[in-house]
């Protein structure tokens, strides 16, 4: 199995493989173009996102600058997703964001990790696990979501939280490590 084939399996692989790097540079070129757009070039931004992302729903908006290891190529965003400044998608494998989700400034969605073995890290090896963010979520400023984590629908993650384990649907979760502090009751959702 090639290094590129291992990239989406969760197995340890070498991301510096020439085949992977060549592909990565192509995707980062489009990301560079996106980040150089003028505020008046909304249509150009939308068209670039359609070229860059694996999937992008209607009415999606990502405020530049946007950072992504593979230029968003492994990102799957639903419709009406809004991401504020400095979204970092470590998209070495797939990152899924559901419809109507809001992402505050300086959020990191990381799908790549490194082995605990220092020798493997020294050689530059890594492994990847997908990230899943549900529909109608709100990730506060500075949230970090680590590889392999899923966040359920209708959930709010408080600013500065580090999400290291799955979070269920319909809750408010905060902290480092992030933990559920309350369920969201229907009567609380009406402002």
Of 8, 73, 76, 114, the active-site residue reads 114
Q: Answer yes or no: 114 catalytic.
A: yes
Q: How far is CA 90 from the centre of its chain?
A: 6
SS3 of 115-176: the string is: CCCHHHHHCCCEEECCEEECCCCEECCCCEECCCCEECCCCEECCCCEECCCECCCEEEECC
Residue 50 CA: distances (Å) to CA of 41, 73, 75, 142: 15, 10, 11, 26
As annotated, the active-site residues are 114
């Amino acid at each position: 199995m090639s290094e590129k084939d291992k990239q989406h399996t969760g197995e340890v692989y070498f991301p510096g493989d020439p085949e992977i790097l060549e592909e990565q540079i192509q995707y980062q070129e489009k990301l560079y173009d996106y980040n150089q757009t003028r505020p008046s070039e909304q249509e150009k931004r939308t068209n670039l996102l359609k070229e860059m992302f694996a999937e992008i729903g209607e009415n999606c908006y990502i405020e530049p600058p946007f950072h992504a290891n593979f230029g968003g190529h492994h990102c799957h965003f639903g419709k009406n997703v809004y991401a504020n400044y400095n979204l970092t998608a470590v998209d070495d494998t797939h990152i899924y964001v559901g419809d109507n989700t809001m992402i505050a400034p300086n959020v990191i969605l990381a799908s790549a990790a490194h082995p605990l073995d220092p020798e493997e890290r020294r050689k530059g090896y890594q492994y990847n696990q997908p990230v899943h963010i549900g529909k109608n979520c709100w990730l506060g400023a500075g949230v970090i979501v680590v590889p392999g984590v899923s966040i359920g629908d209708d959930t709010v993650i408080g600013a500065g939280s580090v999400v290291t384990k799955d979070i269920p649907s319909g809750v408010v979760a905060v902290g480092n490590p992030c933990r559920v502090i309350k369920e969201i009751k229907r009567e609380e959702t009406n402002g």
